[in-house]
Amino acid sequence: MEAGEEPLLLAELKPGRPHQFDWKSSCETWSVAFSPDGSWFAWSQGHCIVKLIPWPLEEQFIPKGFEAKSRSSKNDTKGRGSPKEKTLDCGQIVWGLAFSPWPSPPSRKLWARHHPQVPDISCLILATGLNDGQIKIWEVQTGLLLLNLSGHQDVVRDLSFTPSGSLILVSASRDKTLRIWDLNKHGKQIQVLSGHLQWVYCCSISPDCSMLCSAAGEKSVFLWSMRSYTLIRKLEGHQSSVVSCDFSPDSALLVTASYDTNVIMWDPYTGERLRFLHHTQLDPPMDDSDVHISSLRSVCFSPEGLYLATVADDRLLRIWALELKTPIAFAPMTNGLCCTFFPHGGVIATGTRDGHVQFWTAPRVLSSLKHLCRKALRSFLTTYQVLALPIPKKMKEFLTYRTF
Amino acid sequence: MSVKSIPLDGHEFIIKRRHALTSGTIKAMLSGPDRFAESEINEVNFRDIPSHVLSKVRMYFTYEVHYTNSSMKIPGFPTAPEIVGGWLMAANFLDCYTR
């Protein structure tokens, strides 16, 4: 990507006025998510509502001048049962969202046989983490409530499904625990992970499904094994609550974001800190106030693993290239809370305190052949396995992301 | 203009010169004082790289040139985990960095 390619706002979605004014409901968009296949977007738009929107967006949302993707295929599928947006009324504030593929029930296969002209719509479920500790599981295509998982005693702040589609769900809660649920067994709770001393803000399962990261108010980041559900190590380094975490697509890197204005990049296999990405204000304040206004809210990796997007309280969306120490691009964004990349690249979605979501252009990336090889190798090699290979030292440094 | 690449097992490839120049190493090899000045096809020997690896490298050159300086959406470049080690060695040798 050329330096100075600022993210451009592609579209902004605002919630309509709630039909029933309820001053107790909050209006924040705590989470946004794309389905792994990129066909749906979920938006917790506040007032207890989650909107499920088919992706790419309907043309009416895209301002003139931007290329509307798949314009012709949208016309073809109109009137033929193309997926329409769904509204999920969760009954309480929605904090966490996570998609998973869902195996087709027999009824769906029968339906598909009688409607052969409709393209095969992949089956998906969405998990929603609620204010009182419940987790509701919804079928995306129909908007039907499938399951209600109970166990947490307080807000379910974040959710993560195993990327392999094995239907194991991890939830992170203000009750200081994480819980493991098996959706193959009707949502049976199979483990409680204790150890955190304060609210657990986030959880993330590595793409190779071997590790779970959780981060909490007491400044620590925990790494758990997804095989034995035991603690592997604690990562120390943040000076304040850690509120967001994400693994790189090849599971070789972990990034965590904190109210201490830093994002730390870690090697999850060795626990080493590789990078501190410090968020400084563009215009420093005149006095000593506003010390924490660059508090981080969210961090996420781009799909090819070379960029990060961060949302901070200083009203900026920042794009970082992994190998550099300062951001490569900024976009103004007020009251940002969350961000996520579209799984096939090109778009970043962000959510705000007033329930809005924005879609931004993401850097256009042409990975080097070296990086493509590194990503492929690190998808199945741990850091220690790389260090044991009979290859030159410089190549080991490259493969373990010590150099870029 | 083309570059003929001769890998380990002798199975020759013809690569467009413009594509081959993606590689900093090849660029250096072709612009050195002892380059073949007049011929249409320049030959480069890669004695340590097998042909199946070089074939993939050639595909990468095409991909890189095609999508650089264009506004098209960039698709993923397919990789196969089993033989990716060989590509990494080749890529490292050929210095295949993008801008």
The per-residue pLDDT for range A349-381, each reduced to its tens digit, is 999 998 999 999 998 888 888 898 899 999 999
Cα gap A321→A307, rounded to integer Å: 5
At residue A105 the predicted structure's pLDDT band, cuts being 50, 70 and 90, is low
Closest chain A residue to B90 measured between Cα atoms? A370
- CB distance A373–B68 less than 8 Å? no
Whether A45 and A57 have beta carbons less than 8 Å apart is answered as no
- CB distance A372–B77 less than 8 Å? yes
When the pLDDT of each residue in chain A is averaged and rounded to a whole number, the result is 86
A3 touches chain B (CB under 8 A): no
Nearest Cα of chain A lies from the Cα of B38 at a distance, in angstroms, of: 31
The answer to whether residue A118 scores a pLDDT higher than 60 is: no
Q: What percent of chain A is predicted at pLDDT more than 70?
A: 83
Looking at residues A158-165, what average pLDDT do you find? Answer: 96
The answer to whether residue A71 scores a pLDDT higher than 50 is: no
Which of A102-106, A318-322, A323-327 is most confident?
A318-322
CA-based nearest residue to A158, from A256, A271, A267: A256
The answer to whether residue B40 scores a pLDDT higher than 90 is: no
pLDDT value, residue A115: 55
- CB distance B88–A373 less than 8 Å? yes
Q: Is the ipTM of this complex over 0.85?
A: no
Place of tokens 């493509």: A372
- CB distance A366–B67 less than 8 Å? yes
The answer to whether residue A316 scores a pLDDT higher than 70 is: yes
Least confident of A44-53, A219-228, A264-273: A44-53
Q: What percent of chain A is predicted at pLDDT more than 90?
A: 69
Q: pLDDT tens, A241-260?
A: 999 999 999 999 999 999 99
Closest chain B residue to A389 measured between Cα atoms? B85
Retrieve residue B36's tokens.
Answer: 């073949």
HEC profile of A359-401: EEECCCCCCCHHHHHHHHHHCCCCHHHHHCCCCCHHHHHHHCC
At residue A112 the predicted structure's pLDDT band, cuts being 50, 70 and 90, is low
Cα gap A190→A182, rounded to integer Å: 7
Looking at residues B48-58, what average pLDDT do you find? Answer: 80
Chain B hits for A368, Cβ within 8 Å: 91, 96-98
Q: pLDDT tens, A255-299?
A: 999 999 999 999 999 999 999 999 987 665 555 555 447 899 999
A86 touches chain B (CB under 8 A): no
DSSP 8-state symbol, B26: H
Let me know how long chain A is. Answer: 404
Whether A343 and A40 have beta carbons less than 8 Å apart is answered as no
Integer CA distances (angstroms), A3 to A99, A304, A320, A324, A330, in order? 33, 18, 11, 12, 11
Number of Cβ pairs closer than 8 Å across A and B?
Answer: 56
- CB distance A365–B92 less than 8 Å? no
Name the A residues in 46-65 with CB < 8 Å from any B CB.
none
CA-based nearest residue to B46, from B96, B95, B88, B93: B93
pLDDT value, residue B89: 74
Residue A370 has its nearest CB partner, among B67, B80, B92, at B92
Q: Put the strands of the sheet holding B13-16 in their side by side order.
A: B13-16, B2-6, B41-45
Residue B96 has its nearest CB partner, among A345, A370, A376, at A370
Does pTM top 0.95 for this prediction?
no
- CB distance B74–A364 less than 8 Å? yes
Looking at residues A101-118, what average pLDDT do you find? Answer: 60
Looking at residues B17-26, what average pLDDT do you find? Answer: 74
pLDDT value, residue A70: 36
